[in-house]
Structure 1
Amino acid sequence: MDRVVRRKTFFVALVVSIGGFLFGFDAGIISGVISYVTPEFGLNDAQTGWAVSSPSFAAMFSMLFAGRLSDMLGRKKILLVVAFLYALSALLSAYASSYEMLYITRMIGGVAFGAALVLAPTYIAEISNAENRGKLVSMQQLNIVLGFFAAFLCNNILNGLNGPGSLYLNDQTVWRWMLGVELFPALLYLILMFFVPRSPRWLYQKNFKEEAKAVLISLHGIEKAEAEEESIERNIEAQSKNKEVSIMTLLKPSLRFVLVVGLILGVIQQVTGINAVYFYATSIFKQTGIGTDAAFTSGVLLSFTTVVFTVLALFLIDRLGRRPLLLSGLVGIGISMLLCAYAFNNATYELKTETSGNLNMLDQDKLFQVSNIKFENDVDFKNAMKSTFGIREFTKNEGAIMEAATTMNPNLVLIGILGFIACFAFSLGPVMWVMLSEMYPNKYRGLVIGVIGFVNSLASWLVQQFFPWELSNLGNAMSFFIFGVLAIIGFAVLYRILPETKGKSLEELEKELIRE
């Protein structure tokens, strides 16, 4: 019986966390899509940034309201809407006929993943108990990275099939297939969501006690369900004496500590560069001079590394605890970003006559004008290329040009990026969402996570929007140096204030962290 119960809980958590898979897929797929839509629509740095970041901009507001709506209507109802919006966004974006249609349809997906990122860990925490909550909530992050892996693999396959010999794929259609593939997992998510129960803690809050008890028994068995039920009812009784929740109540002194911790976690998770790396992975690898095809292949390796270390986090988070994983991960993130900065800082760029001949897709007279000129940094080199060939022509052939001109050690960048991804995958990735699902009282959880999710998504949007500008104006070395320094600052701050939440029920954590 216990094994059947555990399987039921695992199945429910797995289904709900498919929303994370779709977020990861959408985030990973755009790194390949942008290589084609930027020259096709003639996008500048700001437009490229907006095409990538517009879903995160929409997600900011979705996160802000999703938790509150789910408190009123229920987690399951909102997640069903999320699944439908994912499917709609995938279908419409694949048929985008203009830059404007592309970012608008991607913003529909942003509304979906913003809500999913807030509600999935909240729901999973509410169906879990203290012994398995860390593992089950971390399934959200595991699904996110599996989505990344599937997207990079899909990008690599479709990019390989694209060519003169293909009947269906060319530079104008391959990115549509990349975007459209997301429709299939989105429809699966929509169907499976009908088979999950409503949150038992939400049901108790709405006085559906019989249904709530039945859900707890189906998830945990009779003995553990009774203990969970008693704990929930005591908590609800205590909270019933409090006033109605509003945004202003989050400023009360008793919530100040956990709110500050959550906000710092939300900002640090993004400003250390995770979505710059994920969303622009193909572009970053092109900067090392390994070529377009190798850049797509490196994206697969990157996403596979993410999966491996997220699985590791799944096993360690309830054993070692949240605090040691997060702090050690931040140290690794800082070192990895600084290694990338070092590698790019020592790079030089020169189109030599003997290698320039391979760039036969470019105007040879213009190519001759910029050959045999050595550049000490990527900003000056790319500005010279854009000035000579035009932004659109350079963007279309950037991989080939960088491959011909760059002299550096690309292995250092690869090691740095993979190290960064590995450290993020066992720390900031899963630990932040686990801790957000644990630190706040049931009554405030939806609202608080929505507010922190808004700040998290705002930081994510800023990084995505301005990363193309950073590369063009500050250069690769300075961009990665900034990420490394921010990781070190994040470690110093969180070392002083981060609590440990493993092995305690949500109600126990409330007594410990909330100072009424």
Structure 2
Amino acid sequence: MSSNRNATRASSKILWRIAAITTLGSLGFGYDTGVISGALPFMALDASQGGLGLTPVSEGLVASSLIFGGAFGALFAGQLSDRYGRLGVLKALAILFALGALGTSVSPDMWSMVVTRFMLGIAVGGASSTVPVLIAELAAPKHRGRLVCQSELMIVSGQCLAYITSASLAHLFESPFIWRYMLAIALVPAVLLYVGMQFVPTSPRWLVSKGRIAEARTVLAGIRDTQPEAERELKEIIAQCNLERQHGGVLSTLREPWLLKLLAIGIGLGFVIQFTGVNAFMYYTPMILKETGMGTHAALTATIGNGVISVIATLIGMWVINRMGRRSMLLLGLTVVVLAQIFLGVVLNFMPTSLLQSYLALSGVLVFLFFMQMCIGPVYWLLMSELFPTRARGLMNGISVSLFWVFNAIVAFVFPVLLGALGGMTFFLFAVVNIGSIIFCTLWLPETKGLTLEEIEQQMEQHFGGRKWRAVEAKAY
């Protein structure tokens, strides 16, 4: 009995170490998306003062270039990971992370900054689609929820680190070139990711799909509690891969109705998470708070609060996700998001400008972010790693996450326009959209808690393959 417990502890430690290394890509994702808020004010300075002389329009180009690069990177990294493996793609992305970080930090003008930010976006988008998939394919069902959620934890930790680093550097150093150092720090997680990936095993599911069964057996033996467990899982993977080969190539996937329904759910979930307005809050919280009369410095300090709350909430989400299940967590998060947005709309529209209004608006933002990052963000990335079949997981994940980035760009562009035109009424509009998201998730979202990836695929094919839909009941571990 004690030997079994020791084996369990050993395999768990290996899996957590693998997740810690792999999610350095997610840390880079978070840092690179968050650091621009601290760097832009310095980049807007005239070239004679150490900046790039950005105008409001060119600021938008610089900020959005990473988002569009993310859409491109997610799409193509997914397809490449199906062909060449998740591990090889992440190594290439680590090099791209490093080149992008170096390029942005030494960019001499606006256009070179846009190009290098787009390159960095390819790495960010590629990591966002590849990291959760690799972790999910390595993890056992009882560990998968928390391990994949570690990716979301590293994203919000990277954003929080970017906010704190930018504020600290700006406070400690008076140099107008400090923005270059803010951007160059992104080299650190890129280098650590590349070095660390030398110690991460290849996905056993990808190995089996390429006929490399002996290698898959070796990998599973090293990351499962017992040899019988590893052999049982290997048999399931082989049987599922043999079944998948009967369906033809990857591109034929897009002609199978039940997989198209799954893809529609994946795309719909990207819409759900982005149209909560989460990135509007992350990018524009100072703008929201300044609507209440709060000063600029206080508003910027509150943005750091966003990062801290996001990290705490994600840690709690990792703890509860295997207890509550994916579907119930997402519905809980969306319900509170709607209530928080209605609250913000009431505060901004019907209260006089005052210190009380500022604090009530800030409390609404923080409640929103807490439930968003605890219940919605982690579940999205976990479902993106679970829903799709092995033979097309990279392709379907890549398409879904690519459109996730497109939805991100739409919200980032539309939100300030709506806020300027409608003021606090904007939040009522988002609440209505999110009520629609609750209806979508209630009707279509499956529960995947406690199932192996092969069992999830079998359940999805059964329930989306022509019979009337009902929620999938997963067995508990």
Same fold (TM over 0.5): yes
Distance 1:32 1:346, change over 3 A: farther
In the alignment, does 2:143 pair up with 1:132?
A: yes
Name the structure 1 match of 2:18: 12
Asked whether the equivalents of residues 87 and 197 of structure 2 are also in contact (C-alpha less than 8 Å), the reply is yes
Asked whether the equivalents of residues 25 and 189 of structure 2 are also in contact (C-alpha less than 8 Å), the reply is no
Correspondent of 1:447 among 374, 390, 395:
395
Name the structure 2 match of 1:192: 196
**TM-aligned CA deviation for residue 453 of structure 1:** 1.0
Q: Write the deviation string for residues 79-103 of structure 1: whole angstroms up to 9, x where unpaired.
A: 0111111112112212222222222
In the alignment, does 2:213 pair up with 1:209?
A: yes
Task: Give the alignment of 1:457-468 within 5 angstroms.
Answer: 457-468=405-416
Correspondent of 1:437 among 385, 397, 403:
385
Name the structure 2 match of 1:220: 224
Name the structure 2 match of 1:85: 96
**TM-aligned CA deviation for residue 286 of structure 1:** 4.1
**TM-aligned CA deviation for residue 512 of structure 1:** 1.0
Q: Write the deviation string for residues 416-437 of structure 1: whole angstroms up to 9, x where unpaired.
A: 1111111111222010111121
Paired-residue identity, %: 34
In the alignment, does 2:310 pair up with 1:306?
A: yes
Task: Give the alignment of 1:468-487 within 5 angstroms.
Answer: 468-471=416-419, 473-487=420-434
Residues in 1 aligned to 2:313 and 2:86: alpha-carbon distance in whole angstroms: 29
In the alignment, does 2:182 pair up with 1:178?
A: yes
Name the amino acid aligned to 1:330: L
Distance 1:127 1:81, change over 3 A: same
Correspondent of 1:54 among 65, 76, 90:
65
Asked whether the equivalents of residues 294 and 355 of structure 2 are also in contact (C-alpha less than 8 Å), the reply is no
Task: Give the alignment of 1:19-418 within 5 angstroms.
Answer: 19-38=25-44, 40=46, 41=52, 43-161=54-172, 166=173, 169-170=174-175, 172-221=176-225, 222-246=227-251, 249-346=253-350, 409-418=357-366
Residues in 1 aligned to 2:421 and 2:55: alpha-carbon distance in whole angstroms: 16
**TM-aligned CA deviation for residue 217 of structure 1:** 0.7
Tell me how large the CA RMSD over aligned residues is: 2.0
Out of 96-105 and 323-332, give the one that drifted further: 96-105
Q: Write the deviation string for residues 31-76 of structure 1: whole angstroms up to 9, x where unpaired.
A: 2223333455554544333222211101112111111111111111
Asked whether the equivalents of residues 66 and 117 of structure 2 are also in contact (C-alpha less than 8 Å), the reply is yes
**TM-aligned CA deviation for residue 484 of structure 1:** 2.5
Residues in 1 aligned to 2:287 and 2:100: alpha-carbon distance in whole angstroms: 24
Distance 1:476 1:30, change over 3 A: farther
Residues in 2 aligned to 1:348 and 1:243: alpha-carbon distance in whole angstroms: 64
Residues in 2 aligned to 1:408 and 1:31: alpha-carbon distance in whole angstroms: 27
Out of 70-79 and 480-489, give the one that drifted further: 480-489
Distance 1:500 1:333, change over 3 A: same
Name the amino acid aligned to 1:449: N
Name the amino acid aligned to 1:79: L
The DSSP-based 3-state class of the residue aligned with 1:420 is: helix
Residues in 1 aligned to 2:379 and 2:291: alpha-carbon distance in whole angstroms: 31
**TM-aligned CA deviation for residue 280 of structure 1:** 3.2
Distance 1:283 1:94, change over 3 A: farther
**TM-aligned CA deviation for residue 229 of structure 1:** 0.5
Name the amino acid aligned to 1:22: G
Number of residue pairs matched by the alignment? 451
Out of 56-65 and 290-299, give the one that drifted further: 290-299
Task: Give the alignment of 1:488-499 within 5 angstroms.
Answer: 488-499=435-446
Name the amino acid aligned to 1:453: V
Q: Write the deviation string for residues 181-225 of structure 1: whole angstroms up to 9, x where unpaired.
A: 211122111211111111111111111112111111111142321
**TM-aligned CA deviation for residue 120 of structure 1:** 0.6
Name the structure 2 match of 1:355: none
Asked whether the equivalents of residues 333 and 372 of structure 2 are also in contact (C-alpha less than 8 Å), the reply is yes
Name the amino acid aligned to 2:384: L
Residues in 1 aligned to 2:422 and 2:42: alpha-carbon distance in whole angstroms: 22
Residues in 1 aligned to 2:276 and 2:121: alpha-carbon distance in whole angstroms: 21
**TM-aligned CA deviation for residue 20 of structure 1:** 1.0
Distance 1:291 1:481, change over 3 A: same
Name the amino acid aligned to 1:435: L
Asked whether the equivalents of residues 31 and 278 of structure 1 are also in contact (C-alpha less than 8 Å), the reply is no
Residues in 1 aligned to 2:338 and 2:57: alpha-carbon distance in whole angstroms: 27
Bigger RCO (CA 8 Å, 6+ sep): 1
In the alignment, does 2:355 pair up with 1:419?
A: no
Name the amino acid aligned to 1:234: A
The DSSP-based 3-state class of the residue aligned with 1:289 is: coil
**TM-aligned CA deviation for residue 347 of structure 1:** 6.6
Asked whether the equivalents of residues 314 and 373 of structure 2 are also in contact (C-alpha less than 8 Å), the reply is yes
Residues in 2 aligned to 1:475 and 1:180: alpha-carbon distance in whole angstroms: 38
Out of 322-331 and 255-264, give the one that drifted further: 255-264
Name the structure 1 match of 2:461: 514
**TM-aligned CA deviation for residue 511 of structure 1:** 1.3
Residues in 2 aligned to 1:408 and 1:6: alpha-carbon distance in whole angstroms: 48
Residues in 2 aligned to 1:156 and 1:346: alpha-carbon distance in whole angstroms: 33
Distance 1:189 1:280, change over 3 A: farther
Q: Write the deviation string for residues 313-353 of structure 1: whole angstroms up to 9, x where unpaired.
A: 1111111100111001011112222323333324778xxxx
Out of 125-134 and 284-293, give the one that drifted further: 284-293
The DSSP-based 3-state class of the residue aligned with 1:317 is: helix
* Larger-Rg structure: 1
Residues in 2 aligned to 1:442 and 1:137: alpha-carbon distance in whole angstroms: 17
**TM-aligned CA deviation for residue 3 of structure 1:** 1.4
The DSSP-based 3-state class of the residue aligned with 1:435 is: helix
Q: Write the deviation string for residues 343-378 of structure 1: whole angstroms up to 9, x where unpaired.
A: 3324778xxxxxxxxxxxxxxxxxxxxxxxxxxxxx
**TM-aligned CA deviation for residue 148 of structure 1:** 1.4
Contiguous gaps of at least 5 residues in structure 2: 1-6, 47-51, 466-477
Out of 25-34 and 414-423, give the one that drifted further: 25-34
